[in-house]
């Protein structure tokens, strides 16, 4: 047995909810006598392939549509209006697969500077990380002519783009990048630190250096290396990190990394670590009966494809008002529609099945109160909520 602990046991709640055809919300009893519900957050609204959801500290939510549009909505279940925050369809490649507008992050000082950042793919098969500004007269309106391109790089295939952007507690911008696509990492990007593919990147957007529109944090692990490694790399060895987030309590960076054909994994990303792709797929040697895992970072948790779960969607460590979920990592699976609550800070984490939905889950998001939302590619936004018992 190698040094990885790979927990394949699903411990489910006695009652498992699923989305019903009549629109009623599934309800899961919990010990307090209350019930968890998975319900539409905005029943009067539909979106086009929502793929990310963000907030900037107020009572608005921003829904990223893969086609290249960001919508802004009041965080009110009765709202019937979704305004266009910014329309980038003229520069975004929208082929309805894994390319498009994939990520949004607001600058930590957004209220003062009006900066927001997006991750998208172009018609030239490049990933582009750009900064935009809001209209000075209207903070709910992005200015599409204000683009400042920070970073761009080629994508050899149309899948495995990653796409998440998030600011860390250190004020730097973190970028999730897949291995470049196809299957089995044919060009070997996962273990090649001379490329930006297959990594979590970290850049300084406030202190550009030289001819670049960004800087390299001084403590990035490969600063000053002599091997030609990209200094933007924070961690590497990832296949397709699909949705990452910081724990608002501990500052830990969590990501779901989509597997090849046997296992999915959840990682806690730490500086300089190698997460193993394509030496390993989660805890399993990839295309080999024996491999050297001695220098690899272990996944925090993994699950097999045996039960029909085939594409992890990373979520959030819950920090909202539902006490029973506090401190648990809530995540899902795009193919099966299942949503789990994973215990954190454990050598043998309990993984509780919360909901067995009929949705293809693209992303999780939180509002300014840390309450949790779920994006479905079919066009709806859901919320995990609590209904008090009688």
Q: How far is CA 26 from CA 11, 36, 316, 334, 386, in A?
A: 19, 8, 21, 19, 11
Q: Determine the Cα–Cα distance for residues 333 and 352; give it in Å rounded to an integer.
A: 14
pTM here is 0.93
Give the domain 47-317 fold: Neuraminidase (2.120.10)
Strand order across the beta sheet in which 83-87 lies: 50-54, 60-65, 69-74, 83-87
* Amino acid 22: pLDDT: 41
Instruction: Decide: residue 40, CB within 10 A, 0-12 exposed, 13-18 middle, 19+ buried.
Output: middle
Angle (CA) 72-74-78 rounded to 5° is: 125
Q: Determine the Cα–Cα distance for residues 165 and 174; give it in Å rounded to an integer.
A: 6
Question: Which of 205, 206, 260 minimizes the C-alpha distance to 238?
Answer: 260
Please, what's the largest Cα pairwise distance for the chain? 66
Task: Please state the domain extents for the chain.
Answer: 47-317
Find where tokens 């009893």 sit. Answer: 29
The answer to whether residue 21 scores a pLDDT higher than 70 is no
Residue 325 has φ and ψ, to the nearest 5°, of: -100, -5
* Amino acid 264: pLDDT: 98
Average pLDDT value for residue range 247-275 = 98
Residue 180 DSSP label: -
Beta-bridged to residue 121, according to DSSP, are 127
Find where tokens 């498009």 sit. Answer: 100
3-state secondary structure 266-322: EEEECCCCECCCCCEECCEECCCCCCCCCCCCCCCEEEECCCCCCCEEEEEECCCCC
Q: Determine the Cα–Cα distance for residues 222 and 216; give it in Å rounded to an integer.
A: 10
pLDDT tens by residue, 134-180: 999 999 999 999 999 999 999 999 999 999 999 999 999 999 999 99
Q: Determine the Cα–Cα distance for residues 228 and 248; give it in Å rounded to an integer.
A: 34
3-state secondary structure 307-357: CCCCCEEEEEECCCCCHHHCCCEEEEECCCCEEEEECCCCCCCCEEEEEEC
Q: Determine the Cα–Cα distance for residues 258 and 260; give it in Å rounded to an integer.
A: 7
pLDDT tens by residue, 177-218: 999 999 999 999 999 999 999 999 999 999 999 999 999 999
For all residues of the chain together, what is the average pLDDT? 92
pLDDT tens by residue, 302-322: 999 999 999 999 999 999 999
């Amino acid at each position: 047995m190698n040094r990885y602990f790979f927990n394949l046991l699903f411990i489910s709640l006695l009652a498992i909810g699923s989305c019903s055809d009549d629109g009623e919300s599934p309800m899961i009893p919990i010990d307090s006598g209350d019930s968890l519900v998975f319900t539409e957050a905005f029943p009067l609204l539909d979106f086009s392939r929502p793929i990310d959801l963000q907030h900037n500290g107020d009572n608005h939510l921003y829904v990223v549509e893969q086609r290249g549009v960001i919508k802004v909505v009041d965080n009110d279940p009765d709202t019937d209006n979704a305004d266009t925050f910014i329309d980038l369809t003229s520069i975004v490649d929208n082929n309805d697969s894994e390319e498009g507008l994939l990520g949004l992050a607001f600058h930590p000082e957004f209220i003062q500077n009006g900066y927001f950042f997006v991750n998208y793919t172009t018609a030239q098969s490049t990933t582009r990380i750009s900064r935009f500004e809001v209209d000075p007269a209207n903070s709910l309106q992005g200015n599409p002519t204000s683009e400042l391109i920070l970073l761009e790089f080629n994508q050899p295939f149309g899948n495995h783009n990653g796409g998440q952007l998030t600011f860390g507690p250190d004020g730097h911008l973190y970028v999730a990048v897949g291995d470049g696509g196809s299957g089995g990492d044919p060009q070997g990007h996962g273990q090649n630190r001379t490329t930006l593919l297959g990594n979590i990147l970290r850049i300084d957007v406030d202190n550009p250096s030289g001819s670049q529109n960004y800087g390299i944090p001084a403590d990035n692990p490969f600063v000053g290396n002599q091997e030609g490694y990209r200094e933007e790399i924070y961690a590497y060895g990832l296949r397709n990190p699909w949705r990452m987030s910081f724990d608002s309590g501990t500052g830990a960076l969590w990501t779901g990394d989509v597997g090849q054909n046997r296992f999915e994994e959840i990682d806690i990303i730490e500086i300089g670590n190698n997460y193993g792709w394509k030496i390993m797929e989660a805890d399993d040697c990839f295309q080999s009966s024996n491999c050297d895992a001695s220098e690899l970072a272990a996944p925090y948790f993994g699950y097999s494809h045996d039960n029909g779960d085939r594409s992890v969607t990373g979520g959030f460590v819950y920090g909202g008002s539902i006490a029973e979920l506090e401190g648990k990592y809530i995540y899902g699976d795009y193919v099966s529609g299942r949503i789990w609550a994973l215990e954190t800070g454990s050598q043998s984490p309990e993984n509780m099945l919360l909901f067995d939905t009929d949705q293809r889950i693209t992303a999780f998001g939180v509002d300014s109160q840390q309450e949790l939302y779920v994006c479905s590619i079919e066009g709806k936004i859901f919320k995990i909520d609590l209904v008090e018992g009688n």
